[in-house]
Every structure is written in C-alpha cells, then in structure tokens.
Amino acid sequence: MTFRAPVRDLAFALKVAGFDELTAKHFPELDADTAAAVLEAAGAFTTDVLAPLNRVGDQQGASFADGQVTAAPGFAEAYRAFAEQGWNSLSAEPEHGGQGLPKAMELAVFEMVHAANMAFGLCPMLTQAAIEALALHGTERQKRLVLPRLVSGEWTGTMNLTEPQAGSDLAALTTRAEPDGNGGYRLFGQKIFITWGDHDATDNVCHLVLARLPDAPPGVKGISLFLAPKFLVNEDGSLGERNGLAPASIEHKLGIHASPTCVMVFEGARAELVGELNQGLAHMFVMMNAARLQVGVEGVGIAERAFQQALAYAQDRRQGRSPWSGEAAPIYDHPDIRRALMLMKAKIEAARGICLTTGVLADLGRLAEDPARRAGAKARQELLTPIAKAWSTDVGVEVASMGVQIHGGMGFIEETGAAQHYRDARIAPIYEGTNGIQAMDLVGRKLSMAEGSVMDELCAEMAMTAEALTERRDLVEAGRRLAEGVRALEAATDWLLSHRGADSLAGATPYLKLAGDVIGGFVLARQALAAGESDEAWLQAKPALLRHYAAHVLAGAPGLAAAVTAGAEELEAISAEALSA
C-alpha cells in the first residue's frame, strides 16, 4: 500500500496548536509559505525515499557479523540523503550548524519520518536528543568538535542507560568510569537495548553513557554522564583510532527489525565527562525528555501509517451488502468498519494535536519574552509531556491493532503489511520510560507543580472550550460530553492530590488515560471550531470526528475517574498465589 504523507492534516494541526502565533513573534522568517514548503518537501522525501524501504527493512533487518553492524538494505544511503538534505538539523541552533527552526516544526517532520519508516526514524531521533544534551551541558571542546557533526548528521548519537540488572532503576547500574590521569576517563561495563548503537551509515557513533566513579555516592546521586565515540576525535576534528567499545550482538525483536538494538561492551573505552560529576542523571534527562516527546510522535506516525492502509483496504475489499444501499459493497460501507475507521482517525488527530501543542509550548518556554508567559508555557509543557508520550503511543498500538482487525484474516498474514505496523508500534509504550512510569511521573511530580494550578488552569481552559461548543447546534452534545470529561478529570485530580503513596500509584495509569482522553477531546474541539462550517470534505470531517470521539471516548470519562479513585487496598490484599493457576 502506498504511503501518503499527511501534510495537510499536519499543517492544520500546527495552526490550531498556535504555530502561526509562535512563528509571527519568534520566527518571522518562517512565514506560512515557507512552513508549507518545508512540510511538502519532507512529505516528498518520506514518501519517495523512506516509505519504500519499510518493508525490506522488516524482512531483512540489520545484520551483525565480526563485531560490526550493517544497516538494512538501502538504509545507509537513505540516511546520507536525509542528512544531506538538512532534515537532521531543523531545530538545532545556527551557532552549531542548525537551521534554528521551531521544535514544533521538527516534530511535524519527524511524524512523517516515523510514519514512513519507524525503524529508520529512531536513528536521527536519538541524535536529536544527544544534540540537546550536548548543547546544554557539553564542554567547549565537545561543542566545537562533536556537536556540529551531530547536527549535520555526519555522525549519530545514542543513549546508553540500561544494563541487564538496571532497567528503569538506574540506581542499580554498575558501569564504572575510572580517571585516566590526563583529564579523561576509561569506561568499563555493558549496556543493553542501545538503539542504533552501531551501524555503517556514518563514520562515527557518539555514545552518551551513564556510569559511576569508584568513589561516587551510592544510588542515582553517584551517576555521571560521559561521551564515548566509536572513533576518537582529534583536535582538528578528524577521526583517530578505534575506541575500546563495540557491539557484542544485536537483539532479535518483535518489530523494528531494521533498527539495530545493540548490546554494547565498554572495555576501557576513552571518554569525556559531560556536565558535572554525579549529575549525570539530571543531564541525561535532557535527552530523555526530548526523546519522550519524539516517541509520542512515533506513536502518532505509526498510527497514521496503519490507518492509511486500513482505509485503503476497506475501500477495496468487497464483501456483503451495504445496509444503506442494499447493494454489494466494499467493507467501508459496513457501519462497524466505518465506526472503527472514524475512531482511528479521531484518535490520531487528537494525539497529533497533543504532541504538536507540547512542541509549541517547548518553543514558547524558551523564547517567550514575558517571564510569566515563559514559565507558564514550560510548566504546561512539563505537564503534557508524559501524556503526549504515553497516551499517543497507546493510541499507536490501538490503531495498529484495529488496522489488523479491519483486514480480517489477511491482517494476520505478513504479506499485507498490517502486522508489521502492529509489531513496530508495540515498542513505543516501552521506550524512554514505560507508560506506567510516565503515569507515575504525571501523578507523582507533574500534578503537584505550583500546588496543582497547572492542571487547574488547563481544565478551566477546556471547560471554556466545552461551553463554546454548545453555541453550535451540531456540537451541543459534544460540548456536554467534553464538560463531563473535564469535571471527571478535575475530581480525579483532586482525589490524587489528597492521596499519596500506593493509592495514587494504583490510580496513575487510569488517570493518565483519563487525562489523555479529555485533552484529546479538547484538541478535537478546537479543531472543529477552527474548521468552521466549511464546504471542503476534509474540514467537514473535523466536527464529525469530534462528535464520534465524544460518543465513544469522552463518554467513558466518569468510569475512568472511578478507576482512578479505587485505591490500592484490593491490590495490597491479593497474593500471587491467589492469582496463579
């Protein structure tokens, strides 16, 4: 099935997210025509270059032999074209060789990249995270010699956190860093699940590695961040000898077969400190937060790809009779199929809007001239980031699963490609802190910011939008459903703020889903209002999608609020023996 980059929907979602106001004030050179040209060019590249490689990447994947990783067929050439055309440098600062475009624009471009070829997109995505970490915490040498080459795409970057005994609990990591007596360090240890940890698409791979010094404090307070390149970097920027690190193997995975997931071994690898000693976790969180929003965009991208294929199949596959015409018809004319497709499309639009809104807020949090506006944007960005990551990636899995279902038995057959989208999508809820961890972060840290006022202000804004919907006869019921959802979210928020410990943790995941469902409805409401009563079919769909979402998603908000407030008593009482066969 041919992929079509959703340029039109992305441009509309950016506009509703506040992109025009952002660019008019802070990026005056990025007028509407220029922004449209960027999206169109990215759409052409992802459609013509990346999408055709998606299937062969899944079938053949990356390979490992003699201590070297080779990218899937065509991927190295595609990556070099990606870098040469400047797609790797969109939002990086011009002083480091970047184009200085908004983060929101980069997210829109990367949604198309992930939709076309998620396994490919993981490589530059992690490089973006490394760029942000070095731009903020790197030494002058690192900014002079390494950062520009990451920005240009000449080299790629990775995150090295996880170890066999230390997954999400980084306090348990044992990789050690020993001073080499010359101002540098030597790294010893093993890291696992390192995405694009080695490959042949670029001359160098720059690893950002968490490790601890021998005399460091125990736990997370003793973790430092180090830069260890595959090839050492000379003072003139040229490459020196091979460093003491290498992939030991690549994993055999459920999906994303073209993305090499490496076991990396450090045997005295030379490394430089990034930032301050024993502040490595805080420094790495710059990468983590950047990657979390990008992973949310991954969820949107893979959902878009799965939806496009399901819609095309539903229009082509003929079976049964239409209840509307009474004639033999494609399955698109069956109400249950059309219901599923509308729900898929609505959730994609909602997740896309959440992610792009978070991107606009990230830009405003850096650039807004008024300190209060800057602080408010940053706070809302922090609140939305775990929702953007977790809710959007859950949407990716759900939509991909529905895509398989719409294909029926053919969806379970690999030749159709629907199964690949489902397999690829399944990693995103696990990446960069599992969705359960995102939920715990939301209820444990983000809700309590400014004594709960950040969520309060968002709920007040959503309630106003719900009221605005009731002024349109065709959206009265959707407005009522959104208002009910906001009230459910407010009640659940108040309960969580007054309950800590196990009770709040037990309600964290249903709370994040509730928040995502309601905020997603808010996004669709704003889009429906912005679409007006246009004669264009695609704009007429916006109010229809809101109404469908309100009936099938927002209607469940009170039930989710009940799950949030159920508490942990039942969980504490149940034993593993009671649950076992």
Average pLDDT over residues 459-477: 97
pLDDT for the residue numbered 520: 98
Please give the single-letter amino acid code of residue 457.
E
Domain shared by 142 and 174, yes or no: no
Residues 120 and 42 in one domain: yes
Give the mean pLDDT of 361-366. Answer: 96
Flag the least confident range among 60-69, 468-477, 534-543. Answer: 534-543
Residue 245, phi then psi, degrees to nearest 5: -145, 150
- Identify whether the C-beta of residue 297 lies closer than 8 Å to the C-beta of residue 111: yes
Whether 17 and 300 have beta carbons less than 8 Å apart is answered as no
490 inside domain = yes
Please state the rounded mean pLDDT for residues 355-368. Answer: 97
With contact defined as beta carbons under 8 Å apart, do 266 and 175 qualify?
yes
Q: Residue 215 belongs to a domain with what CATH number? A: 2.40.110.20
Specify the pTM.
0.97
Tell me: do 137 and 11 sit in the same domain. yes
Confidence of residue 581 (pLDDT cuts 50, 70, 90): confident
Decide if 559 is inside a domain: yes
Catalytic residue among 132, 163, 298, 432: 432
Point out the domain boundary residue: 148, 176, 208.
Answer: 148
Q: Are residues 174 and 113 in the same domain?
A: no
Q: Is 94 exposed, middle or buried (0-12, 13-18, 19+ CB in 10 A)?
A: exposed
* Residue 12: predicted pLDDT: 97
By the 8 A CB rule, do 455 and 516 touch?
Answer: no
| pLDDT exceeds cutoff 80 at 541 | yes
Tens of pLDDT, residue by residue over 33-75, are 999 999 999 999 999 999 999 999 999 999 999 999 999 999 9
Contact 261, 185 (CB under 8 A): no
475 and 525 part of one domain: yes
Q: Looking at the structure, tell me whether residues 25 and 116 fall in a common domain.
A: yes
How far apart are alpha carbons 385 and 42 in whole angstroms?
25
Q: What share of the chain is helix, strand, coil (3-state, %, to 5)?
A: 65, 15, 25
29, 83, 538 from 36: Cα distances, Å: 13, 20, 18
- The reported pLDDT for the residue numbered 284 is 83
* Distances from the Cα of 122 to the Cα of 229, 232, 386, 427, angstroms: 19, 24, 19, 12
Residues 234 and 170 reside in one and the same domain: yes
Domain of 511 in residue numbering reads as 434-570
pLDDT, tens digit, 9 for 90 and up, residues 485-517: 999 999 999 999 999 999 999 999 999 999 999
Residue 113 lies in a domain: yes
Among 115, 56, 120, which Cα is nearest to 88's? 120
Task: Report pLDDT for 289.
Answer: 80
Answer whether residue 370 is part of any domain: no
Co-location of 470 and 493 in the same domain: yes
pLDDT reported for residue 512:
98
Whether residue 286 has pLDDT greater than 80: no
Owner of token pair 């349109």: 472
pLDDT in tens, 201-241: 999 999 999 999 999 999 989 999 999 999 999 999 999 99
Last residue of a domain, one of 120, 148, 176: 148
Count other C-beta atoms under 10 Å from residue 66's C-beta: 4
- What's the pLDDT tens digit per position in 2-16? 899 999 999 999 999
How far apart CA 188 and CA 175 sit, in angstroms, is 6
Give the integer Cα–Cα distance in Å for 148 and 210: 22
Query: By CB neighbour count within 10 A (0-12 exposed, 13-18 middle, 19+ buried), where does 536 fall?
Result: exposed
* Mean per-residue pLDDT over the chain, rounded: 96
Question: How much of the chain exceeds pLDDT 70, in percent?
Answer: 100
pLDDT digits 0-9 by tens, 88-130: 999 999 999 999 999 999 999 999 999 999 999 999 999 999 9
Same domain, 274 and 198: yes
With respect to residue 522, please indicate whether it lies within any of the assigned structural domains.
yes
Q: Tell which residue, 70, 106, 76, 73, has the closest CA to residue 88.
A: 106
Residues 68 and 92 in one domain: yes
pLDDT at 1 over 70: no
- 143 with 159, same domain? no
Query: In the chain, how many domains are there?
Result: 3
Q: According to the model, what pLDDT value does residue 534 have?
A: 84
pLDDT of 554 over the 90 cut: yes
Classify residue 140: in a domain, yes or no: yes
CATH of residue 129's domain is 1.10.540.10
Known catalytic membership, residue 432:
yes
pLDDT in the model for residue 171: 86
Other Cβ atoms within 10 Å of 7 Cβ, number: 20
* Same-domain pairing of 138 and 36: yes
**The last residue of a domain, from among 148, 166, 195:** 148
3-state DSSP assignment of residue 102: coil
